Amino acid sequence: MVNSLNNVNSIGYWLKSNLTPEASDNFLNDSILNIRYPVYLVDYQGGPAAVNSGTAVINPVALEPGACPLLAYAPPLHPETLGDTVFKKAHNIRYAYVAGAMANGITSEKMVEEMGKAGMLGFFGAAGLSLPDIEAALDYLQQNMPGIPFGSNLIHNPNDPDQEAAVVDLYLRRKIRLISASAFLRLTLPLVYFRVKGIHLSPDGTIICPNRIIAKVSRVELARKFFAPPPEKLVNKLLELQKITPREADLARQIPIADDLTAEADSGGHTDNRPAMSLLPTMLSLRDKMMAKYNYQRPLCVGLGGGIATPASTSAAFAMGAAYVLTGTINQACVEAGISQTVRNMLAEARQADVTMAPAADMFEMGVKVQVLKRGTLFPQRAAKLYDLYSRYDCFENIPSKDRQVLTDKFFCSSFDDAWSQTRDFFLQRDPRQAQRAEKDSRHKMALVFRSYLGRSSGWAKTGDPARKIDYQIWCGPAIGAFNQWCADSFLAHPKNRKVVTVAMNLLLGAAVTTRTNWLRMQFDKVPPGIGTFSPLPLEKIRELING
């Protein structure tokens, strides 16, 4: 037993309690896992030993009689304490954990409900759905989640701005107070309208913004716009249209478009494949500059999404300063996701390299891409082929006959005229201007038919159409491979056991365990390898650990 403070590994001493330190690796692991209590790593009977109780004295003048040198110390770390208190309080949630809004209702009503009831925040995946479908989902959520926070998605729609405006009108009419703004290339009039409408002063002079936005962006120049007050030009336009009052226009100059922003790293769906390690610090630096410039009443918060899939990545996000973490890809593999069981099974087999970029249906002509699963589907190759043909030819008839035959036989499973007839019927209901333009512009007609294939491919994946499995478009980032590797050989390896709250609580508890282990290692470099490795636990066990 070391009894001198000259021990280079000692940071202080530990006074005995009613528990005796134990030297086994299993006991050290259990002590770290017991996150409601501190971990003392002490020099006891000639070697390191762990204990969860006692009194530590850091940097003492002398070692008290009977005390043991303290090699390392980790305080309690409940999953509730991870993340930014401002963010959690603002949204009335227990955990700094958000389920992102995967389109076409993949982030389903049930998933949002489960997240909310567990003290987390879920966003319904409204993008790509019709207004009646969105409203039906809002009916369910508002009826089943009274007083429980939730949000819904607003996706930028440059090809159909009227649809974007109609969704905002629906949200305002239904008093949806929180939206996730995704895939925006610029700020739009409907987005600003949602944010500014209803802004007022409380009796004590505090600015009250009933409508809140959490933006999801990957570029600094766009993040700067979200963290700034609404553009004067758009505010004046709303005033001119009499959509807002002069008082609302005046108060709008004192608030940011978004109080919260998710730094979107290498995610599924729309993504710039940004590395989280460089993106998040850059966004945090921008936040600090914008707060210093505008001195908003409520501090701005930056979270991280894209790649959050394991306890280590969750811990790293919080260690870098993320106010919250946002998950998407791994939620799609959960039983509550609005996707077919076939897709869940495909995702459960995916590895990190089994993803690629493919042309996006909603921004096809602009060359925008989304990240998708490539294992088990030909969609990425076929989508790339469509964009290549669109780029090279001005109408379908000018495409070489061999390629046209492949498209009609393999892609459309019909003649081009029949494919156009179905596409035309869709756009006559959704956006008649597109159909009218296509009748005069052969290249635009070709683009709409190609976009129809891209759009329907995600629908086939959602319904699990067995005849079109080879064409499934499955939005997916490399996070799914990391998740599958982490939970291999555990109960979470099976898709039927992947429930969204169970997954979330494993990541949060695992992040607390990983963080406490790292704290110990930074103080005592002889912590054995493998200590603090967190494996998936059933939800009942997690609740027992965090609640006692």
Q: How many CB atoms lie within 10 A of CB 215?
A: 25
b/e 269-278 (16+ beta carbons within 10 angstroms → b): bbbebbebee
Question: What residues contact residue 273 under an 8 Å CB cut-off, 6+ apart?
Answer: 266, 357, 371
- The Cα 485–Cα 65 span in angstroms is 49
Distance CA 438, CA 385 (A): 21
Beta carbons within 8 Å of 96's beta carbon, 6+ residues apart: 82, 83, 84, 87, 88, 303, 318, 322, 323, 324, 325
* 399-403-409 Cα angle (round to 5): 125
Query: Of 304, 319, 198, 212, nearest to 251 (Cα)?
Result: 198
Reference 294, options 286, 306, 303; nearest CA is 286
Contact 513, 35 (CB under 8 A): yes
Query: What 3-state class would DSSP assign to 99?
Result: strand
Write down the residue that tokens 């005033």 correspond to.
239
How does strand 178-182 pair with strand 97-99? unpaired
CB 403 within 8 A of CB 410: no
| 3-class SS shares of the chain: helix, strand, coil, % to 5 | 45, 15, 40
Q: Are 255 and 229 in contact (CB under 8 A)?
A: yes
Contact 74, 520 (CB under 8 A): yes
HEC sequence for 342-359: HHHHHHHCCCCCCEEEEE
Structure-block tokens of residue 334: 């959960």
Separation CA 96–CA 547 (nearest Å): 17
Distance CA(117)–CA(404), nearest Å, equals 51
Displacement of CA 323 from its chain's centroid (Å)? 13
pLDDT tens, residue order, the chain (548 aa): 333 444 556 889 998 777 789 999 999 999 999 999 999 999 988 889 999 998 888 887 677 777 889 999 999 999 999 999 999 999 999 999 999 999 999 999 999 999 999 999 999 999 999 999 999 999 999 999 999 999 999 999 888 899 999 999 999 999 999 999 999 999 999 999 999 999 999 999 899 999 999 999 999 999 999 999 999 999 999 999 999 999 999 999 999 999 999 999 999 988 888 999 999 999 999 999 999 999 999 999 999 999 999 999 999 999 999 999 999 999 999 999 999 999 999 999 999 999 999 999 988 999 999 999 999 999 999 999 999 999 999 999 999 999 999 999 999 999 999 999 999 999 998 889 999 999 999 999 999 999 999 999 999 999 999 999 999 999 999 999 999 999 999 999 999 999 999 999 999 999 999 999 999 999 998 998 999 999 999 999 999 999 97
The domains of the chain, with CATH numbers, are 1-76 (no CATH), 81-345 (3.20.20.70), 378-471 (no CATH)
Q: What are the Cα distances from residue 243, in Å, to 181, 236, 314, 388?
A: 20, 10, 42, 43
For residue 3, what pLDDT is reported? 38
Of 423, 214, 168, give the one whose Cα is nearest residue 323: 214
The half-sphere exposure of 354 on its side-chain side, counting CA atoms within 13 A, is 22
| 365 vs 53: CA distance, rounded Å | 63
Classified as helix, coil or strand, 382 is helix
pTM here is 0.94
Report d(CA 374, CA 221) in Å as an integer. 31
Burial group, residue 442, by CB count within 10 angstroms (0-12, 13-18, 19+): middle
d(Cα 310, Cα 332) in Å, to the nearest integer?
15
DSSP string, 201-215: E-TTS-EE-SSEEEE
Q: What is the largest CA-CA distance in the chain?
A: 93
User: How is residue 305 written in tokens?
Assistant: 């999404």
- The whole-angstrom separation of Cα 548 and Cα 546 is 6
pLDDT of residue 17: 75
